[in-house]
Amino acid sequence: MSKLKDLEEKIGVFFDNKNLLQQALIHRSYLNENHDFHLGHNERLEFLGDAVLEIIITEYLFINFPNNPEGDLTNWRASLVNSKMLYQVAKDLGVEEFILLSKGEAKDKNSKARQYILANSIEAIIGAIYLDQGIEKSKDFVFKNIVFNLKDIIESKSYLDPKSRFQESSQEKASITPVYKVLKEEGPDHDKKFTVGLFLEEEMVSMGFGSSKQEAQVDAAEKGLTLKNW
């Protein structure tokens, strides 16, 4: 439990029931190797935390942006609660060193699965805070660690999907509507691989790859935004 105190200091919440915080950090895989551990895994807390996070963000946006349409609020909320954002929060707080994983999962440090585990742990922590400290402490945590990103999200328009962002930027900066062309399609029907080129008139800005045309287009748009510094 002494290690948990370090995490409590990092997140700024000191639990009455330390087991709630501990449980928020237990991945299912850990219990496969530690059958006699006295706590369960964190998936129920994650389920609760997901709902708590959503209502806190929704209420904040509803109150603070009274003149914005539902579409804006929905996009901003999605950007604040998605796994990419929550993964970054977990990294910033150093949550990874506190999570209990199986030996196999512990070795797999840079995979997509690890990113989801870390993102889910933030939801579980929010669920634990809510049960132990109530909604106001939960709001404090969410405002401090998640909502503060909203200004950058709005200014950078990162709430838009990459294709929309590239099209908006290309029309604004170059007065050109981008076009996507399939350059290559290979593999059997059940395992297709697409290569797509993103063009501004005759200029091929970038190439994207994916298991569908849409996925390849999004990949090309993300690369195009970086290459154009848009």
DSSP codes joined into one string, 153-221: HHHHTTTS-HHHHHHHHHHHHHS---EEEEEEEES-GGG-EEEEEEEETTEEEEEEEESSHHHHHHHHH
**172 annotated to bind ligand:** no
- The closest alpha carbon to 13, from 120, 138, 117, belongs to 138
Active-site residue identified among 105, 123, 132, 222: 123
What are the pLDDT digits (tens) for 201-230? 999 999 999 999 999 999 999 999 999 998
**120 annotated to bind ligand:** yes
The yes-or-no answer on residue 123 being catalytic is yes
Residue 91's pLDDT is what?
95
The yes-or-no answer on residue 202 being catalytic is no
Active-site residue identified among 8, 43, 50, 215: 50
What are the pLDDT digits (tens) for 162-206? 898 899 899 999 999 999 999 999 999 888 999 999 999 999 999
Q: Work out the angle at residue 183's Cα, subtended by the Cα atoms of residues 180 and 185, and round it to the nearest 5 degrees.
A: 115
Confidence grade of residue 2 (pLDDT, cut at 50, 70, 90): low
Identify the burial level of 100 via C-beta atoms within 10 angstroms of its C-beta, where 0-12 means exposed, 13-18 middle and 19 or more buried: buried
Ordered structural domains, the chain, with CATH: 2-155 (1.10.1520.10), 162-228 (3.30.160.20)
Residue 189's pLDDT is what?
85
Q: CA 196 to CA 215: how far, in whole Å?
A: 9
- Give yes or no for a contact between 96 and 106, defined as CB atoms under 8 angstroms apart: no
**123 annotated to bind ligand:** yes
What are the pLDDT digits (tens) for 29-75? 999 888 889 999 999 999 999 999 999 999 999 999 999 999 899 98
What are the pLDDT digits (tens) for 93-111? 999 999 999 887 777 776 7
Q: Which pTM was predicted?
A: 0.74
